[in-house]
Structures are given as C-alpha cells and as structure tokens.
Structure 1
Amino acid sequence: MSVAAERPQLPFARPNVLELAPLYEVLRREAPITSVTTPAGDPAWLVTRFEEVRDLLGDKRLGRSHPEPERASRISTAAVQDGPTGNYDTEEADHTRMRRLLTPAFSARRMTMLSDHLQQLVDGFIDELRTEHATAHGGVVDLHAGLAFPLPVAVICRLLGVPESDRELFHSLSERMADYVIGDDAHRAREEFSRYMAGLAETKRARLGEDVLSDLVRAQSADEKYDYADMVRLCVGLLFAGHETTVNRIGLGVLFLLTRPDHWQALIADPAGRVNATVEEIMRLGAPGDLGLLRYAHTDVEVAGVTIQRGDAVILSVNSANRDTSVYTDAETFNPDRAERMHLGFGHGAHFCIGASLARTELRVVFETLARRLPGLRLAKPLDELGVRTTITGGVTELPVTW
C-alpha cells in the first residue's frame, strides 16, 4: 500500500525502556487520533488519549477481524498482532465461546487457590538466586533469567497442562514470533508453534486431564462449529500471552522500584499493605511494547472529529492512554500512592484481559516476596545499558542485580 510521506512512522523512538517518546504527549494534546505509518509501511489510525482509547476498546464496531483480510493494513512483519485474525462473520460468537470456556479456569477464586503454589515457586526461585549470588562474580545475578522469566512460564504451564520441560522450545518460538526484524522467520515460528500445540492437543485427547488444554479439546470434540484450527490458534495465543505479559511486567516493575528508592523502601517497610497499589501502578505505567492493540473498523466510526472508515486499521495506544495528564496527576511519575487507581493495562470492555486475575496474583506474590526476602536489592547495571528486546511485546533481555 502507498502511504503519505508526512505520516509519522511507528514505532516512535523512546528515551529508555521505562519512558515513552515525548511525541505521545503532543499527540494526546493536539491530535488524539492521527494517521500514521505502521512498521510494515501501511496506513493506520493511532489513538493516544485515555477517553478515546477506553471507548474504542469497548466499541463493537471495531474488531480483530477484517471485512476484506487481503486488503487489510499490516502492522509489522512479526507474527503477533501483524494483521487481522479470526472470521469476520463469526468473530463475536467465537469470542463469546472463548470467554465461556476460559472464564472458570482464570477466575479470581481459582487464582486465590493458586496462591500457595505461587508462593512456593517464588521462594524456590529466590532460594536459587541467593545460592547463585554467593558464588557469582561480584555477587551479580540475572533476575530476568532467575525469576521474571521462569515463574510465569511455570505457572502458565501448570494451568494449561503444557510440559514445563518444553519451556525453552516455546520460549524460542515466542521470541521469534514476536520479533519484528527477522521477516519471514517470525511466521515460520508461528507455524512451528501451531504444529507443537496441535501435537500436544492430540496427546491430551488420548488422556484428558484437569487443565485448560484438555478443556479446549473436549469443547472442540463436542461442538462441530468449533473449528480445530481455531482451537490450536487459541492454544498458541494462551501460551504466548500467558507468560509474555507477566515476564515483562516483573522486569519493568523491578526497574521502576529500584530506580526510585523511596518507593522501594516504602514497599520494604510494609510489603503486604503496599503491594496491591504498587502492582496497579506497575500495570499503569509499565509500557512493554512500542505499538498498541490492533483493531479494524467493521463500519464507519466517527470519533473525536475524525472519520475512521470501514476496514481501516486502528492502533489503540494503551501505553499513551495510561499517561494522559487529563486523567492522572503527574501522569509520567511512578506513584503507587496516587488517588487515580483505574488504568487500561488489562484493556477494557468485552476484551478485558481474561488473565488479569492471574497476572495480578503473580505480580503481588513476586513483589511482596522480593521486598521481604531481598530488601537490599539493587541494579548492577545502569538502566540505559540494559539489553532491550526487539519484539512486539518489548521488555528487557536481562536484569542484573545484586544485594
């Protein structure tokens, strides 16, 4: 597709992994819905202000499918959120089925029951880090490799019924799928991931258990309208999203706290009392990706004086919306004590993240335990020197710490 040269090109350059590009503040103020060029070179609307992002997240006139998929704008060359997904004619019914199937597994009650297991996992990973710290050169250990990555993987594997011994395989596949600089290899990774999940589903079919993948296999067998390929695609999505988001939020949360010692000391002083507010502020201000949530207009939509036409791509910048100065006091400041508790970190409306309770539970256990068990925690490398992932989901590749 040809695009106008004057359109801003995504992604916008960021000062560091904790801050957004200053252009977002300008756009919120002067052009909250603006035409941009995607990393793939196609046109899209970028929505940056809290009010419009929230409203469009809940607007059924926008969807993940496209009325003419072959003509849809592409967002990137990654294999995650690169273009339309699902069936345009059945998207709403398919989404309703998915929510019905998954809600029991991700309920707040189920997450409460999971808390004891989570605590054991976190304590075990911290025990291993303490042992490594005693012998490591300079006492420096990688909190990303030792906690932020393996914990969410272990949890989602248990919940879904995926062998944790395969974690390096699907970690590699996830990295390749989400990488926007490797071209066709990202899509080959998605195909490999789909074959892996299909094989796992067939293994489950022969011996169904009490896990999410078994539930989906049962549902697909019982409902001829539930397409097998859709089931496999959902399985891939659950495994990918179920660990990626939390891995990144643990890393960003640690960085926010360790670069702001007053808030870290406050959490140490009262871990149980302050952890909930700390986690919500991490979810508000943490910005692990450089784009946003992709939607397509299913009909013409008038919003903020702009006409979004049927078929247009719309990128909803949750990162920008969560820093809107018309909604938050000192919006760019990390402050768990702020009065404004709401945020769009888990989305809004019908597509509100089904794993929100799981993510919150994991983050609460992680940060409360770190504050109790490693109060002397500090970064062993400056923020600007940390490796940053070249993926749609972003985040850091390392988290060197000592104490």
Structure 2
Amino acid sequence: MTTQLPFPQPLPLQVPPLLRALQAQGTVHRICTQVGDDAWLVTGYDEVRRLLDDHRLGRSHPDPETAARSGESALFGGPLGNYETEKADHARMRALLQPHFTPGRMRTFRHRVETLTGELLDNLAKQAQPADLHTALALPLPILVICELLGVPYEDRARFRTWTQAAADIHDRARSEQGLGELFIYGQELVARKRRAPGDDVISRLCATDGVDDDEIAMLSMALLFAGHETTVVQLGLGALLLLTHPDQWQALRDDPDLIPGAVEEILRAPGKGGGGIPRYAHTNIDIDGVTIKTGDLVMLDNGAANHDATAFPDPDSFDITRHAAGHLTFGQGARYCIGAPLARMELQVALAQLIARFPAMRLAVPIEELRIRGDVLTGGLAELPVRW
C-alpha cells in the first residue's frame, strides 16, 4: 500500500479510501510527499487542532535548503519566513491585517456582496443551458469582492489570475516562483498608484499606516489577493456541488433560509480531500500520540482528515446541514486562524442564499463521476460545474 500524497480520490467530495484506512490505524503516519520527501501526516481531530496552535511548529526551517518539501509550489511547497523571527513577524502581519477583516466590517460590506451576486445571477439566467456555474458564479464573485476590498482594478483580473494560478502550481517550481514574482511587481505598481491617489480600500489604508514600507504593503496585499479569492472560489464550487447532490437539503434551505449559516459551516467541513493539509516544520522534538517528531521534520496537519474524524463529527462522511459543524478546522485554529474567515463565510452565505432562491430547480447537468477536481494547483477545486435549471 503506497502512502505517497496525493491519495487517489475516486469521486469529488469523497474521502480517499487510503486516507480513511490510515485514520483507522491511528493519528500519526509516516508518508511521502508528492515530491518524494519524507513527512509525518497527522489525521486525528484533537491532534490537528492542538498542533495548529502549537508554537513548537512553524512555517520556517532552521536549514531551509535541506528541508523536506510538500510540493513544488513557492507558496506552500517548502519553508517560508525567518526561523529566528517567525513568531514576531507573524504577529506583526496579523496586527496589520486583522482590522480590515473584522466581522463588523464584513457586515457593512455584505450589501455590496449581495449586489454583486445578484448581477452575476442575472447574467447566468440569460445563458443557454447547460451553463457552467464555476465560470458564472464561483470564480468571478470572490474576485470581484477581493478587488473591491483591496482596491485592485477588476479589469486586471485576467493578469493577476494568470499569476495566482502560476504561483499555485504544485508541479513546476520555476513557474510558481515566476508567478509569485509577477504578483509582487504588480503589488508594487498598485502601491505606487495608491500613494498618488488613495481610495477607501485596504491597500490605501495600509499606505497610511506608520512604519510599513511599500514592499511590505505590496507583499501583504498580494498575499491577500491570492488567499482572498482562490480558496473561496473552491469552497463556493464545492458547496454548490454538495447541495446539488443532496436535493433534499437544497429544498430545506429553500424552505428555511435561516438554515444557511449552519449549512455554510457544514459545507466548509464536508468535502473530502486528497490528503495533505497544512505544512509545518518541527522547531524542536515533539511527541505526538506516542510518536517522536524530530526537529526539522515536515509535519502535514491534515485538517480535511480531521474534519472527517468520527470522534469529532459522528457519521462524518454524511452531509447534514443541520449538523453542528462550526468546530471544523478548515480555517485553522488559534494564532494562525484564517484572517479572511469572516469574509469567506459571508460570501458563501450570500451566494448560496441567492442561488437557491433564484434557481430553485437547479440540478447537475452531468453525472458527478464526470466532474474533475484540479490536481495541478495548490487549492484544488472543480474545473467546471455544468448545471441546468
């Protein structure tokens, strides 16, 4: 039995059988990454939750050139940051960005997201059937939203989307590094524009913050641009697919829209993934469930597997919008909890509520077996989602 990532996933949304078999054996497993390096895979909910907030693990490595890699992506394939200052650097980054993504700010922005969603669904209603829900809603909405928040021109979307896709490449490191470099140059251009003509947006507000230089603003802004749309594109597509393949729950949300917030938490928890999760490096020797992890070892905290741990979520492979799923680990945990979580939740709530209300009879236009999960980029997600209504 090979234990090299990614694990085969016969169907979209389904937990890989090999991952399920590993979970049955324990919570910590020796595996090979997709580039053949040794790593530890942690699959238990309690262990993943605890380790996500454990200061003994980090994204940096004491000797980056010798570190095991999880893939070829320049973003998540290997070590990031300064080993000596990682904790302080991360705290500074959060302090700079957190005020721009509070639940209160997201409530204020919600009406604008509702308007943008309505316009996209108006356009969808005019399309011939079958239509691709991915290109009609799941892809453009998160891009529109993050552009408005950051102050990025939406007309530049083809350019920066090319670079974010390149940066997310998990097979070609040179392409990933080039995409990341192009994004940074674009970020520098945006910062220069905001210096000349500031607006009511995150980049302009960062420019007005004391002690933050232009390169740091460019780096932070492009990190937000990437994370702020790539992951939500994936979650929106998979969320729609989950509901379309469970018509009884689609109908339940149509009958009672108050169920939407809870449904979104289940949508964030439920998709099965091909194994892997969040990479960390041990900064000291650590004992995890009786296994000794040595300093410098690569540890993959599989939050997807943790979200399917039966000790935390009974009958974990069933999709149930009434489940109390808010304890999922999709956004991480503790000091590294995703800054954009309030934004992602709000987008998903708005988009799914309007989609169900506008297209109550929507259904998949192809068998689920014909749908393809992308295996070439960091975030994965559907390549397309053909629907009829």
| Structure-1-length-normalised TM-score | 0.92
Change (3 A) 1:326 1:346: same
The answer (yes or no) to whether the contact 2:12–2:372 under 8 Å persists in 1 is no
Residue 359 of structure 1, aligned match among 344, 349, 367: 344
CA distance in 2, matches of 1:62, 1:327: 23
Name 1:330's counterpart in structure 2: 315
1:105-143 alpha-carbon deviations (Å, 9 max, x no partner): 1000100001111111111000000012xxx2xx21111
Name 2:335's counterpart in structure 1: 350
CA distance in 2, matches of 1:194, 1:288: 30
CA distance in 2, matches of 1:196, 1:340: 38
1:24-65 alpha-carbon deviations (Å, 9 max, x no partner): 222223131111111122111111110110000010111111
Residue 276 of structure 1, aligned match among 258, 261, 274: 261
Name 2:304's counterpart in structure 1: 319
Name 2:367's counterpart in structure 1: 382
- Pairwise mapping of residues 148-187 of structure 1 onto structure 2 (< 5 A)? 148-187=138-177
Deviation at residue 340 of structure 1 after TM alignment: 4.9
| Structure-2-length-normalised TM-score | 0.95
Residue 299 of structure 1, aligned match among 284, 289, 297: 284
- Pairwise mapping of residues 72-91 of structure 1 onto structure 2 (< 5 A)? 72-91=67-86
Deviation at residue 230 of structure 1 after TM alignment: 4.5
Deviation at residue 366 of structure 1 after TM alignment: 0.8
> Helix, strand or coil for the counterpart of 1:41?
coil
Name 1:402's counterpart in structure 2: 388
Name 2:219's counterpart in structure 1: 233
Residue 201 of structure 1, aligned match among 163, 181, 191: 191
Q: Which amino acid aligns with 1:23?
A: L
The answer (yes or no) to whether the contact 1:248–1:288 under 8 Å persists in 2 is no
1:267-310 alpha-carbon deviations (Å, 9 max, x no partner): 11112x11011100000113566421111111111110011111
CA distance in 2, matches of 1:19, 1:325: 15
> What's the C-alpha RMSD, in Å, of the aligned pairs?
1.7
CA distance in 2, matches of 1:320, 1:94: 29
Deviation at residue 257 of structure 1 after TM alignment: 0.6
> Helix, strand or coil for the counterpart of 2:152?
coil
The answer (yes or no) to whether the contact 1:17–1:395 under 8 Å persists in 2 is no
Deviation at residue 333 of structure 1 after TM alignment: 0.4
Deviation at residue 175 of structure 1 after TM alignment: 1.4
Change (3 A) 1:324 1:313: same
Q: Which amino acid aligns with 1:113?
A: T
Name 2:133's counterpart in structure 1: 143
> Helix, strand or coil for the counterpart of 1:105?
helix
CA distance in 2, matches of 1:324, 1:394: 21
CA distance in 2, matches of 1:164, 1:252: 24
Which runs of no fewer than 5 residues in structure 2 stay unpaired? none
- Asked whether 1:250 is paired with 2:245, we answer no
1:317-343 alpha-carbon deviations (Å, 9 max, x no partner): 111000001111111000011245421
Which runs of no fewer than 5 residues in structure 1 stay unpaired? 1-5
Deviates more, 1:122-131 or 1:195-204: 195-204
CA distance in 1, matches of 2:367, 2:2: 34
The answer (yes or no) to whether the contact 1:249–1:288 under 8 Å persists in 2 is no
Kindly, what percent of the aligned residue pairs are identical? Answer: 45
Name 1:3's counterpart in structure 2: none
Deviates more, 1:251-260 or 1:229-238: 229-238
What is the count of residue pairs matched by the alignment? 388
Q: Which amino acid aligns with 2:98?
A: T
Deviates more, 1:152-161 or 1:185-194: 185-194
Deviation at residue 7 of structure 1 after TM alignment: 6.9
